[in-house]
Structure 1
Amino acid sequence: MTKKLKPQSIVIAGGGSTYTPEIILMLLDNTDTLPIRKLKIYDNNEERQKIVADAVEIILKEKAPNIEYLATTDPEEAFSDVDFVMAHIRVGLYEMREQDEKIPLKYGVIGQETCGPGGIAYGMRSIGGVLELVDYMEQYSPDAWMLNYSNPAAIVAEATRRLRPNAKILNICDMPIGLESRMAKILGLNSRKDMDVRYYGLNHFGWWTDVRDKEGNDLMPKLKEYISQNGYSLEALGTDPKENDPSWMYTFRKAKDVYELDPNTLPNTYLKYYFFPDEAAQHSNPNYTRANEVIDGREKRVFGECMRITDMKTAKDTNFHIGDHASYIVDLTRAIAYNTHERMLLIVPNNGSIVNFEPTAMVEIPCIVGSNGPEPLTQGEIPRFQKGLMEQQVAVEKLVVEAWIEKSYQKLWQAFAASKIVPNAAVAKEILDDMIEANKEYWPELK
């Protein structure tokens, strides 16, 4: 006889996000393996959340009228009686992301959401917001788990390690999942779940060292052959979605150049920003960056579809796409709720998992996940090339968190100057001073 699964209560923090509808649709598609009794969305921006909330209400009435639903801006209402908090907040919204990207470009430096100066600026905004959510959860539902995929995940993970060391929070990223889905297509597999991977690194800064099918056959040679020619682009297979933004298409193709630096491994695409920062800056339009692409593309598409659903009073013919981002969240929730011991990539304290690396670094590695959280899998020693790069990047992440804690201008300047993306300390200071001006509302006042 199949054991009846206990229904869960979930709050999505960042209810006004463009990713909220697809996460909810993914949850509803999986209620046979992850039953839900209550679903709430929470945001401190009522106007933005309402666009999503009204559409979600119609989706739930049609697909799962038995699930209790609430959209709220009240933390007590949102975080009381929940088993899981799914957090994907963006402090400062896309308007501040635009600043993160455009300010560095004034100095010929790439502006990017999670890498270099842009990632540092965003991290300084995100730390306080994520800590606030952790505190609400611990106050109103102390037994709940937070699954945090708010960016920049590396800096946020280091901040929670330092400042909320006992919190039940898992920091995660869907980027490797998206690339593994591309690998599966390159290999002709049905799903990334048909593969077992070994991977190590930091968030947006890692390498696959082994990819096998469920029978244990080594899939790396075929992947290496394809990626050395095409990167992660699927254009050669004729299966790359047409709606992909141009900046992503370029990023997927560029992986072939990143791969050449270490043909023993397969790289995360974000490494292009560290290895080819000048080229990345040259390929950027200082007047129209990735933030503008998202505002004009994804944001318009998602909010437009939400408003259409609300106007039509039905979601029966909705064109929302459920991405890898969402499926990963469901798998992780199930692993904790029902002790499934799923193997997943998570951002966790190293503590010897990478033998020759900083124990307190927040590393991204495979873990076995059960109801007691993650059990990291040992990755052994890593080569000098990756170790050196990772040590430099960990220094940046730790300096940012120390700067936030100590309100230290000096440490934040050091973080900017230590970034591989920034050419020198003078440019680092100029970008930092502009960033301070732009982020007055969001950063602690630095001394």
Structure 2
Amino acid sequence: MMTKSFSVVIAGGGSTFTPGIVLMLLDNLDQFPIRKLKLYDNDKERQDKIAGACEIFIHEKAPEIEFLATDDPEQAFTDVDFVMAHIRVGKYAMRELDEKIPLKYGVVGQETCGPGGIAYGMRSIGGVLEIIDYMEKYSPDAWMLNYSNPAAIVAEATRRLRPDSKVLNICDMPVGIEDRMAEIAGLSSRKEMKVRYYGLNHFGWWTEIQDSEGNDLMPVLKKHIKEFGYTPNANHHPTEKSWNDTFTKARDVYATDPDVLPNTYLQYYFFPQQMAKKSNPDFTRANEVMAGREAFIFSQCQKIVEEGSSKNSEIEIDDHASYIVDLARAIAYNTGERMLLIVENNGAIENFDSTAMVEIPCIVGSNGPEPLAVGKIPQFQKGLMEQQVSVEKLVVEAWVEKSSQKLWQAIILSKTVPGADVAKAILEDLIEANREYWPQLEEKPLQPII
């Protein structure tokens, strides 16, 4: 029987995802009772646009919950049990540059993959570490559930720089794909599936999928994905074109190894020239988001505040994010929930770097995650993962050492980049664009390409 209620702070309170997550938390109070809900963001003006609507949601649905929106770390992080972090250092303006600078050189422009993901990672490390430090200073017994991107680089940074902190790094992309798998298989929910998966964040493969009765779902899923990708049917999920294309493209990624089912982000590594060529360098995904979701959420929040009611709101509950409640409940109530988390390998994948931050199934309880053994992985996946995990480690080393050389090496090593000369040109532009956000890199110039 649940008797305790919890205090939660959402770090990144000005995010356009925050209203949907607040609604999701309010919709799950029977599973995860909340006594206090706080929003924290260092951009007060942006957060204020979101907070007014969230306060109305809470007043209407659960007025007993104490609400606070603040840019003061002490107020935000004092007396909290869970920190739910989804920050974006530099906001969408910097995401736009992450995407457009590589595209200028014919390279994939994407927020978590390739040079754009590296640039974003260099910005995110300091911000995530700052939140961990606030949590440990003001609420040392709290847990941080971190779903800030790029999760792979952030996870490596927390492993190396805050190894004893109570931080769980998670990602919603496998959840989104599993939702589609469940629909393809004729199930009502992904929670009716038991999966085995391994890889790095945004860089992995499902090896087994069973239903709750132990029936093997892989044959039916493989047959469908070979023809349609992760699109359940021709008329399904009318979402943004870029996402529709991504889910359909999974059939080409699947063809590289038909024994397993791939994460959709592998498209950027397996078909980098194709992905760059099909992108509009003048209107990237960041522009789509700013013109679409960001404008919509801000206008809806303003409407709610002006009307003093959410009655006419079109903002929807983010059911997709309910995995956050599952994770919090697992820690709070020691439920032994089985979830995909980003954890230190430490032998779970036998023939892979033990210090790598890998994404694998874990059993989660009050002491945190217990990774499940994966065993040995095939040479194809092993080779790909070794290259990509080296990129992630080099980025963190570059941040720690303030090394432009290490950062150049990371970009050279990315499968999305064709050569060291292109990597150098991209890096020089990224350094200039990120002077306000990255550590001051050493003055030693990069060697010229002859």
Secondary structure at the counterpart of residue 261 of structure 1: coil
1:164-203 equivalences in 2 (<5 Å): 164-203=162-201
Compared with structure 1, are the counterparts of its residues 186 and 346 closer, same or farther at alpha carbon in structure 2 (3 Å cutoff)?
same
Residue 320 (structure 1) shift = 1.9
Unaligned runs of 5+ in 1: none
Match of residue 257 from structure 2? 262
**Do the aligned residues in 2 keep the contact of 1:9 with 1:81 (CA within 8 Å)?**
yes
Aligned equivalents of 2:254, 2:319: Cα separation in 1: 23
Match of residue 123 from structure 1? 121
Give the TM-score normalised by the residue count of structure 2.
Answer: 0.97
Match of residue 376 from structure 2? 381
Residue 42 in 1 paired to residue 37 in 2?
A: no
Match of residue 9 from structure 1? 7
1:361-380 equivalences in 2 (<5 Å): 361-380=356-375
Residue 379 (structure 1) shift = 0.6
Match of residue 310 from structure 1? 305
Residue 94 (structure 1) shift = 0.2
Amino acid at match of 1:118: G
Aligned equivalents of 1:4, 1:378: Cα separation in 2: 32
Aligned equivalents of 1:368, 1:209: Cα separation in 2: 18
Match of residue 80 from structure 2? 82
Cα deviation per residue 1:276-319 (whole Å; 9 max; x = unaligned)?
A: 00000011000000000000111111111111111111013422
Match of residue 236 from structure 2? 239
1:353 to 345, 348, 353: 348
1:111 to 109, 115, 121: 109
Cα deviation per residue 1:246-272 (whole Å; 9 max; x = unaligned)?
A: 111111110000000000000000000
Cα deviation per residue 1:215-244 (whole Å; 9 max; x = unaligned)?
A: 0000000000000001012343x331x2x1
**Do the aligned residues in 2 keep the contact of 1:366 with 1:377 (CA within 8 Å)?**
yes
Match of residue 447 from structure 2? none
**Do the aligned residues in 2 keep the contact of 1:350 with 1:361 (CA within 8 Å)?**
yes
1:18-417 equivalences in 2 (<5 Å): 18-236=16-234, 238-240=235-237, 242=238, 244-417=239-412
Amino acid at match of 2:426: I
Amino acid at match of 1:62: E
Aligned equivalents of 1:322, 1:332: Cα separation in 2: 18
Unaligned runs of 5+ in 2: 443-450
Secondary structure at the counterpart of residue 281 of structure 2: coil
Aligned equivalents of 2:230, 2:154: Cα separation in 1: 27
**Do the aligned residues in 1 keep the contact of 2:98 with 2:115 (CA within 8 Å)?**
yes
Residue 324 (structure 1) shift = 4.6
Residue 80 (structure 1) shift = 0.1
**Do the aligned residues in 1 keep the contact of 2:24 with 2:319 (CA within 8 Å)?**
no
Amino acid at match of 1:403: A
Aligned equivalents of 1:153, 1:360: Cα separation in 2: 16
**Structure 1 vs Structure 2 CA RMSD:** 0.8
Aligned equivalents of 1:351, 1:322: Cα separation in 2: 37
Match of residue 448 from structure 2? none
Aligned equivalents of 2:227, 2:302: Cα separation in 1: 42
Alignment: residue pair count: 442
Secondary structure at the counterpart of residue 167 of structure 1: coil
Give the TM-score normalised by the residue count of structure 1.
Answer: 0.98
Secondary structure at the counterpart of residue 11 of structure 1: strand
Amino acid at match of 1:139: K
**Do the aligned residues in 1 keep the contact of 2:23 with 2:318 (CA within 8 Å)?**
no
Amino acid at match of 1:338: Y
Aligned equivalents of 1:109, 1:358: Cα separation in 2: 28
Amino acid at match of 2:310: A
Amino acid at match of 2:8: I
